[in-house]
Amino acid sequence: MSHEYEFLTEANIASYITAHPELQQRIDGADLAEIREIGDGNLNVVFHVRDRAGRSLILKQSLPYVRMTGEGWPMTPDRARREAESLVAHGAILPELVVEVIKYDTERYILALEDLSDHRVWRGALNDGEYHEGVAAQLGRYVAGVAVGTSVLGSERGEVADMAARSQNAELCVITEDLVFTEPVFDIGRNTVLPENEADAAALAADLSFATAMSEAKWRFMTHAESLIHGDLHTGSVMVRGSGQRGDDADSVKVFDSEFAFYGPVAFDLGALFANYAFAAARARALGDEQRAAWALSLIDQTWAGFAEAYLAAAESWHETRLFDAAFARRRVAETLREASLFAAAKMARRIVGAAKVADIQTLEPSLRAPAARAVLTAARALAAGWTEVSSVSDMRTVLDAHLLA
């Protein structure tokens, strides 16, 4: 099939770089040493490019379809612009926590990014048993910074309206609406589980209280245009650097891959992180490491504390402190925690039964995977059943600990 723009290939990357001065300044396209396709996500192609002087960058291109499935699932390549613009907006607020955008090519949907190959993807590090302490708290601070800085709490009313208009991202939101909220309950043929988990998936789909919770989650996702959220903040959207040894803080944390960004509920990003900590805990438990499972779940407390502290601190001096006063900020924090529990439940279930899964669980051998998947599903159902009652992070931990720790 022919497409309206040229795809990046190993053969044309050198000339692409030399033709763009912003890129040629960062790396010599005429003297390249290595080009590697490193994309491991569901949507795009990603090249790591290095020249003979050792300088490097990343070129990420959106295809007009979903890479995971191929051309049968068309998808707007303009998602790369959402990613570029959201990375720039988030980077203006928290430059130390967001990957640098070098250039965005609107014609070929190519994003040039700083090379973070001295970092590793956090999911991979977690799956290898590494620690990188402090990352979870930094991510809480990131979510709070974005929550305030891109909303009417931290920016001019008119700027927020313009940004919200530019950040409409319906096609990618529909992916989330379908895969995260609807399909775990109403399978349209994309769900898969191990035979040992078929009864668990059926019980999830038959759970009326889970379906009710998902209706609330989907409604909030579609209508609560609070801030320019990341939209897909799982542990595969975070790079970390450091020894990874227990007790050693990561020395760098960078968020990337925000093509799902749109004006949505702040709690969605927190729920995504919480769900991914639950996967890390389920994996550790399946591998017999109870201590690590408890550590993985403690990341929930750390992200939450990082978020709440930064959010309440920002409330002291944000734009409007008359009605949006300290009591208002505390109410927002309380509601955000409840909603984060709800979204975490959705995210946990979708990665077990739905179309796009996570390596934390998938790389377990089937005899370990089935009970781990079952534990995540029962935890998701319990969280969904009680999300309206969550009034502290320990309420949420009580539910998760009961299902994911021995």
* Contacting positions for Mg ion (CB under 5 A): 41, 257
| DSSP summary character for residue 182 | I
The least distance separating ligand SR1 from the CB of residue 402, rounded to whole angstroms, comes to: 27
Q: Phi and psi (nearest 5°) for 405? A: -115, 155
Of residues 97 and 172, the one with the C-beta less far from Mg ion: 172
User: What does 352 interact with, of Mg ion, ligand SR1, none (CB < 5 to 8 A by kind)?
Assistant: none
Of residues 183 and 257, the one with the C-beta less far from Mg ion: 257
Q: Quick one: 170 exposed, middle or buried, by C-beta within 10 A (0-12, 13-18, 19+)? A: exposed
Taking CB under 6 A as the rule, does residue 88 contact ligand SR1? Answer: no
Taking CB under 6 A as the rule, does residue 175 contact ligand SR1? Answer: yes
**CB-based contacts of 131, cutoff 8 Å, min separation 6:** 244, 245, 246, 247, 248, 295
Of residues 138 and 176, the one with the C-beta less far from ligand SR1: 176
Q: Phi and psi (nearest 5°) for 110? A: -110, 130
Of residues 261 and 372, the one with the C-beta less far from Mg ion: 261
The least distance separating ligand SR1 from the CB of residue 342, rounded to whole angstroms, comes to: 17
CA neighbor of 233 nearest in space, from 335, 129, 329, 123: 123
Quote the tokens at residue 278: 């639950």
Quote the tokens at residue 32: 């390249």
Of 44, 155, 167, 176, the residue at the interface with ligand SR1 (CB under 6 A) is: 176
The number of C-alpha atoms within 13 Å of 243 and in the hemisphere containing its C-beta is: 5
Q: Which of residues 24-43 bind ligand SR1 (CB under 6 A)?
A: 42-43
User: What does 235 interact with, of ligand SR1, Mg ion, none (CB < 5 to 8 A by kind)?
Assistant: none
Q: Which of residues 210-249 bind ligand SR1 (CB under 6 A)?
A: 232
Of residues 210 and 277, the one with the C-beta less far from Mg ion: 277
Quote the tokens at residue 10: 């190993």
* Cβ atoms of residues 13 and 49 within 8 Å: yes
The least distance separating ligand SR1 from the CB of residue 75, rounded to whole angstroms, comes to: 7
CB atoms within 10 A of CB 97: 19
Taking CB under 6 A as the rule, does residue 353 contact ligand SR1? Answer: no
User: What does 193 interact with, of ligand SR1, Mg ion, none (CB < 5 to 8 A by kind)?
Assistant: none
* Helix or strand (DSSP H, E) at 262: strand 262-264
Of residues 176 and 197, the one with the C-beta less far from ligand SR1: 176
Of 38, 68, 88, 202, the residue at the interface with ligand SR1 (CB under 6 A) is: 68
3-state secondary structure at position 35: strand
**CB-based contacts of 138, cutoff 8 Å, min separation 6:** 97, 250, 253, 306
User: What does 83 interact with, of Mg ion, ligand SR1, none (CB < 5 to 8 A by kind)?
Assistant: none
Taking CB under 6 A as the rule, does residue 76 contact ligand SR1? Answer: no
Taking CB under 6 A as the rule, does residue 66 contact ligand SR1? Answer: yes
* Helix or strand (DSSP H, E) at 79: helix 79-93
The least distance separating ligand SR1 from the CB of residue 168, rounded to whole angstroms, comes to: 18
CA neighbor of 137 nearest in space, from 307, 339, 266: 307
The least distance separating ligand SR1 from the CB of residue 159, rounded to whole angstroms, comes to: 28
For binding to ligand SR1 (CB under 6 A), which residues are involved?
A: 42-43, 66, 68, 175-176, 179, 232, 356
